[in-house]
Amino acid sequence: MSEHETDSGVVRAGEIGVGVVGAGWMGHLHARAYARLPHHVTDLPWRPRLVAVADPVLAAAEDHVARYGFARAHTDWRDLVADPEITAVSVASPNSTHREVGVAVAEAGKHLWIEKPVGLSSVDTAAVAAAVHATGVRSTVGFNYRMVPAVARAKRLIDDGVLGPLTHARFRLLTDFAADPDGVLSWRFTREHGGTGVLNDLAVHGVDLIRHLAGEVASVVADGDRFVPRRPLAQAGASQYGRGGADSLTGEVENLDYVSVLGRTTAGAIVTLEASRVAVGDQNDYGFEIHGTRGLLSFDFRRPGELHVAAGSSYVDQPATTYAAAPGDGDFALFQPGAGNPTGFDDLKVSECAAFLRGIAEGRSGGATIDDALAAARVLDAVAESVEKGARVEPA
C-alpha cells in the first residue's frame, strides 16, 4: 500500500491511524465517531483507521476491539502513544490523567482530541497547551454543546447583531446523576481525581458556551456547596452509577455538588451560570437565555432541534418564534436533509471528529481548541477562588 506524509509522520494512503485512551462511556463515543465519520463526511483526504485502544481494565479495552474493530488493545496508554501507526489520539480517560497523557501525546508528535476539562486546574491545561504549541500538533477539545446545530444558529444571529448589544444572559447545567446519597464515592467526588467536582464536570461547559456566545469573562463572584457530604465507598471497577447499601462504609465528598456564578463579560454584559449534579427532578436540563437590546435567544438542550428567537423593533410584547434546526445550521446537513429532523448526542461527537480531522488536513486546530480549554480553566479557577473567599475575582 502506498504512503504519504502528514505533518506528524507517514500514514497509509487514504487512511489516518487513530488511537483512543479510555474505554468508558466517552471512549465509546469517540470510537463510534471515528467509525461513523466516513458515513457523513466524504471530502477528507483519508478515513480514520482504528489502530489501538488503551484502558487499565483489559476487558473494557477488549470490548472496544470486539465492537469497533480496533487492531489491538493495551492496558498501558504509553504503548498506544508509542505506536508508529497512530497519527491522532483521543484522550477520554479520567480528568486526573489528562495532563500526563495529553502532554505525552503532543510530545510524541501526534494530534490530540482531548475531553474537557483537560486536567484538574488551569495549571494542568496550560501544560497541555504548552506541549501542543511547542510541537505544532493540532488540538480539539470536547466542548460538544457548541456543536449543536441550534447553538450554531444562535452564534450566527448574535454575530450578525440580530439581538443588538448583549445585556444579560443565563446559562444552566442542572442534572441529577449524583442526587442519590447512596450513589458510590467514585473518582468524580475526590480532589485527586475529580478536581473541583461540578465545576470540572458541568460548569466548564457553561463557561465555554458563555465565551463562545457572549464573550470573554472579565470577573466572577460565586458560591457553591456540597449537599451530599458523604457517600458509600466504591468497590474497584464500580460504575459512577453504582449504589451502596445502608451498611456500607462511607467516605467524604471532597468537591462541589453545586455552583452559582454571577459574572461580567469584557463587553459589559451580566451573565449568570448555575450548575448542579444533585438537582433532583432535572435530567440534563442544560440551556441558556441570552438577551440583547433588541431581542432574546433561548435554547433547551432537551429540545436540541429548536431555538427560540424574539428580535425586531417593537420591544414591548414582541413575539418569539421557534425555529427548527435546518441545513446551514452548523453540521446539521451532515446528518439530516431537512428542517425538523432530529439529531442526537452521538452526532455532536461526529461533528467534533470532523472538525478535528479536517483541522489536521488543513494544518490548523479545528473546533474548540486547547486555547479555549485554557481560557475556560482560568475562569473556573477564578470561580473556585471566589467560592472560597466570598469575593469577586478576575480570571488570571
What's the confidence (pLDDT) of residue 313? 87
What b-and-e string marks burial along 257-274, b requiring 16 or more CB atoms within 10 Å of the CB? bbbbbbbbbeeebebbbb
What's the confidence (pLDDT) of residue 10? 44
**Do 175 and 276 touch, CB atoms closer than 8 A?**
yes
What's the confidence (pLDDT) of residue 7? 45
Given CATH 3.40.50.720, say whether it is the number of domain 3-144.
Answer: yes
- Residue 79 cell numbers, joined: 504503548
Strands 111-114 and 139-141: parallel
**Do 357 and 34 touch, CB atoms closer than 8 A?**
no
Using the predicted structure, report yes or no on whether residue 237 has a pLDDT greater than 70.
Answer: no
Mean pLDDT of the chain: 94
d(CA 274, CA 276): 7
The pLDDT tens digits of the residues spanning 153-186 come to 999 999 999 999 999 999 999 999 999 999 999 8
The pLDDT tens digits of the residues spanning 98-135 come to 999 999 999 999 999 999 999 999 999 999 999 999 99
pTM: 0.93
Q: Which residue has the higher pLDDT, 339 or 237?
A: 339
Strands 306-311 and 295-300: antiparallel
pLDDT interval class at 238 (50, 70, 90) = low
What's the confidence (pLDDT) of residue 2? 39
Note every long-range contact of 325-332, with CB atoms under 8 Å and residues 24 or more positions apart, other chains counting: 325/148, 325/149, 325/150, 325/153, 326/149, 329/149, 329/150, 329/152, 329/153, 329/156, 330/147, 330/148, 330/149, 330/151, 330/152, 330/153, 331/147, 331/149, 331/152, 332/149, 332/152
- What architecture does CATH give domain 145-341+368-389? 2-Layer Sandwich (3.30)
Hey, where are the domains in the chain? 3-144, 145-341+368-389
Return the H-helix or E-strand segment holding 261: strand 258-265
The pLDDT tens digits of the residues spanning 196-224 come to 999 999 999 999 999 999 999 999 999 99
The pLDDT tens digits of the residues spanning 145-160 come to 999 999 999 999 999 9
